[in-house]
Amino acid sequence: MNTLPKTLTGNTGLDEITEGGLPKGRPTLICGGPGCGKTLMSIEFLVKGAMRYNEPGVFMAFEEKADELTANVASLGFDLNKLQKQKKLKIDHVHIDRSEIEETGEFDLDGLFIRLGHAIDSIGAKRVVLDTIENLFGGLENQAILRAELRRLFHWLKEKGVTAIITGEKGDGSLTRNGLEEYVSDCVILLDHRIINQISTRRLRIIKYRGSFHGTNEYPFLIDEDGITVLPVTSLKLDKKVSSQRVSTGIPTLDEMFGGKGFYKGSSILVSGSAGTGKTSIAASFAHAICTKKEKCMFFAFEESPQQIIRNMRSIGFNFNQHIEKKLLEFHSFRPGLYGLEMHLSNIYKMVKKFKPSAVILDPITNLVSVGLISEVNSMLLRMIDHLQNEGITFMMTALNSGTTEHIDENVSSLVDSWILVRDVELHGERNRALYIMKSRGMEHSKEVREFLISSKGLNLVDVWRGSEGILIGSARKEKEKEAAVARKQTKSRNLKQIQ
């Protein structure tokens, strides 16, 4: 089977979704509401084309003037002036002002064709962007001629063999205000920008792509200082590398519960429990263990500031300042509501890419629910787990479960490899912590419930008391143990007496 020739856009995510880029030598329509990133996406297509693939491009602007455009994208590191000087890019601003124009009788758009043709030929362009050609509809009265001419224009572009992007503003109930989708039928991409709970999320969807397979989902994308990032969709494939190496949890007695060796390297671990059960302490002890081995760890905190965590953890014997000084540990605190989930995800990706840690900690994931729906948080975490797993980074997250809120831990638990649960046990007028392993894939692990102790010496797990009275924990356990010790001593001495 012949596959359709494609042109790489240079945007990794978009190229992945389209399985190789836009249809070569054909026009593609990018539509969406105002401010959805159409212009940016198309200018990126030209800039990347010129810089990476040596394909010069023509940008025909019907909206913005060339200098405005240049200024707008300069913040993204695109130097349009330089590219224009190198003859890799040509920007032509088509100014249409109804008040200056009178129409009478027959006309055609040969002027536009000649201009575009001249621009293409002058730099040998392979890529063309028309942004937004719909402005012609506002400038000209005779729509019948205009429509016929547009049809001719798109044919002409195909004949020219240039890969073109045509942008169009979204209309009511139609993809574009003036029905451009009628003329461009090879590939249509819809960009969308919606606000849910006051947080904006951008999404991209390929509505059609004639003669090619493509991802049909809505894919989130971001616009930040690096331009447009369509988030990686590699997570669709389940073919990650796995390691059989083990990493210590930082608590010897907890390692014991995990077959004596701890977690798998590159696995994902969920620590969940009710408030005040020591989830952050477990995470901190893990971070401490990683850094002690001279490996790097990255700690993302959504609740506490780095200083707070450092101070608090000092009280249980972890000195994080030394790790930070040695650049083994990096703390990042931000409020979940600061930006949308996707932005968080991409931010984390970027920082992880820069720091290259061997472990990442997210504390706690529960707070993300305030930013997105549970299903969205799930999908974000899934992608994050996949991404980190691919990189061989061990990933620990904590989750709060209380009786009232939805149980995010249960939703996430199917995605993680190991799940540690910490419980409050209230008995005999005191509150103690009990810890057990809910699951741990692919390894021998303890099924016991153990008592979890936090003291100035660090974290520790001890066996609970199992006896005729049931399970005892805390001071009741200590009491029993003392009794038992006394009883043992007594039996011992009695036995000795009997022997004597």
Exactly one of 103, 226, 430, 444 binds other proteins (CB under 8 A); that residue is 103
112 binds other proteins (CB under 8 A): yes
Inter-residue contact 154 to 183 (CB < 8 Å)? yes
Q: Which of 96, 316, 351, 415 binds other proteins (CB under 8 A)?
A: 96
Interactions with other proteins, residue window 63-92 (CB under 8 A): 92
Q: Would you count residue 287 as binding other proteins (CB under 8 A)?
A: no
Cα distances from 329 to residues 93, 288, 348, 359, in angstroms, run 51, 9, 15, 10
- Nearer residue to other proteins within complex by CB, 106 or 159: 106
Closest CA to 163 of 74, 51, 3, 30: 30
Q: Comparing C-alpha atoms, which of 230, 204, 235, 198 is closest to residue 217?
A: 204
Q: Are 21 and 7 in contact (CB under 8 A)?
A: yes
Q: Rounded to an integer, what distance in angstroms lies between the CA atom of residue 35 and that of residue 191? A: 10
The CB-of-99 to other proteins minimum distance in angstroms stands at: 10
Least Cβ distance, residue 145 to other proteins (angstroms): 9
27 prior amide bond cis, ω within 30: no
Closer to other proteins by Cβ: residue 97 or 325? 97
63 classed as catalytic: yes
Told to check if 100 binds other proteins by CB under 8 A, we report yes
- Phi, psi dihedral angles at 192 (to 5 degrees): -140, 150
**Does 160 help bind other proteins (rule: CB under 8 A)?**
no
225 binds other proteins (CB under 8 A): no
Q: Is 332 in the site for other proteins (CB under 8 A)?
A: no
Catalytic residue among 256, 303, 304, 448: 303
Catalytic residue among 19, 63, 182, 304: 63
Minimum CB separation of residue 186 from other proteins in Å reads 24
Encoded tokens for 303: 């609740």
CA–CA dist 61, 67 (Å, integer): 11
Residue closest to 269 by CA, chosen among 277, 260, 258, 256: 258
> Minimum CB separation from other proteins for residue 357, in Å?
53
- CA triple 427-429-433, angle to 5 deg: 50
Query: Does 159 contact other proteins by CB under 8 A?
Result: no
Closer residue to other proteins in complex, CB, 107/334? 107
Question: 330 pairs with which residues across the strands?
Answer: 298
CB of 36 to other proteins, least distance (A): 26
* 107 is a contact residue toward other proteins (CB under 8 A): yes
The smaller minimum CB distance to other proteins, of residues 122 and 414, is found at 122
Q: How far apart are CA 461 and CA 97, in angstroms?
A: 77
Contact 249, 286 (CB under 8 A): yes
By CB under 8 A, tell whether 102 contacts other proteins.
Answer: yes
CA distance 129 to 8: 15
Residues 111, 161, 317, 442: which binds other proteins (CB under 8 A)? 111
- Catalytic (active site) residue 342: no
**Shorter beta-carbon distance to other proteins: residue 106 or 325:** 106
In degrees and rounded to multiples of 5, residue 441 shows phi and psi of: -65, 135
The residue from 5, 68, 86, 101 that contacts other proteins (CB under 8 A) is 101
List strand residue ranges (DSSP E) for 246-382, in order.
246-247, 263-264, 268-273, 297-301, 329-333, 359-363
Residue 136 interacts with other proteins (CB under 8 A): yes or no: yes
Q: Does 325 bind other proteins (CB under 8 A)?
A: no
Q: Give 46 or 109: the residue with its C-beta nearer to other proteins.
A: 109
Q: Where along the sequence are the contacts to other proteins (CB under 8 A)?
A: 92, 94-96, 100-112, 114-115, 117-118, 136, 140
List the catalytic residues.
63, 303
